[in-house]
Amino acid sequence: MHNAYLSIGTNIGDRQENLEKALKALNTESGITIHKVSSVYETDPVGFEDQEAFLNIAVAIQTTLDQETLLQKGLAIESELGRVRLIRWGPRLIDIDLLLYDDIIQQTETLELPHPRMTERAFVMIPLQEIAPTVAEPLLREDVLADQGINKTDIELIW
């Protein structure tokens, strides 16, 4: 069994429902067990800023899948839920990023682990710190995260 961490975000349509659908889809995948889900955070967009705010969560999973297969499962779920990629860092119905997979360091055409920009993004690191403080702590860069708009919400996800 392998331990992995995902970041899931959405800023189009019913954002809460999008997160819930992604969690349900992950939970029904063979070889994936959701271990923990963070609180829901509302965050300002990063990169392309002329868009709606995002809802973001971090998810700790256990899996029998290898990291490449897990990445492909995430991409397939995005597609099944209706994601269309138009603008880099643009609006998205759902985004499922593989952040960490065990202690593997990998750089291929299709996958880079740890996720190459995770430490620069409060919407990734703050939810990750909530569910896996010992994993997140060595990666935290307070100076980078300080000025990013992120607020914990009262939203309770049902999945």
Residues with catalytic annotation? 83, 92, 95, 97
Strand ranges (DSSP E) for 20-117?
A: 32-37, 41-43, 54-63, 95-101, 106-107, 112-113
Tokens of 43: 């965050």
- Residue reference for tokens 């067990």: 33
Residues making up the chain, counted from first to last: 159
Please, where are the H alpha helices in 111-156? 122-131, 133-136, 142-145
Strand ranges (DSSP E) for 46-149?
A: 54-63, 95-101, 106-107, 112-113
Tokens of 56: 């973001």
User: What letter would DSSP give residue 102?
Assistant: T
Tokens of 154: 């009262």
Tally the C-alpha atoms within 13 A of residue 8's C-alpha that lie toward its C-beta: 34
